[in-house]
Amino acid sequence: MNYYLDVLKKYADFSGRARRQEYWMFFLFQIAALIIVAILDAVLGTSPWLYLIYALATLLPNLAVSVRRLHDTGKSGWWMLISLVPFIGGIWLLVLLATAGQPQPNQYGQDPKAAYAA
């Protein structure tokens, strides 16, 4: 839960690096929250308004943590656009997001794992 809240605290912070664990835990909580909001939306009969409001409210943090995750691998945030390539683009982006980060400092900052180890 802390990873989810940490990402929301960095609402539109596209600089720096994000660990794999931070990204995937945010992704897991985001999917769970979207499912809960969709169920709540259906129960209240407001479909799809609550879902859309929540999805739009968390769009920037989702993009920001994805860009920071790419920074951890040494890639620019513009690599997000690779997902626009049909078929292979989404798969390639998934591979980039799942790749281990660079253990040494890179142009985007210090290794975030080193901060947790200290």
3-state SS string over 49-114? HHHHHHHHHCHHHHHHHHHHHHHHCCCCHHHHHHHHCCCHHHHHHHHHHHCCCCCCCECCECCHHH
SS3 45: coil
pLDDT at 117: 61
pLDDT at 26: 96
Predicted local confidence at residue 118, as pLDDT: 56
Residue 2 pLDDT? 87
Low-confidence ranges of the chain (pLDDT < 70): 115-118
Q: Which residues contact residue 95 at a Cβ distance below 8 angstroms, ignoring those fewer than 6 apart?
A: none
Q: Name the token pair of 92.
A: 């390639």
Per-residue pLDDT at 1: 78
The pLDDT score that the predictor gives to residue 114 is 79
Q: Is the pTM of this model over 0.85?
A: yes
pLDDT at 8: 93
Quick check: 111 and 102 in contact, CB under 8 A? yes
**CA 97, CA 115: separation in Å to the nearest integer?**
20
Instruction: Say what the pLDDT of residue 113 is.
Output: 83
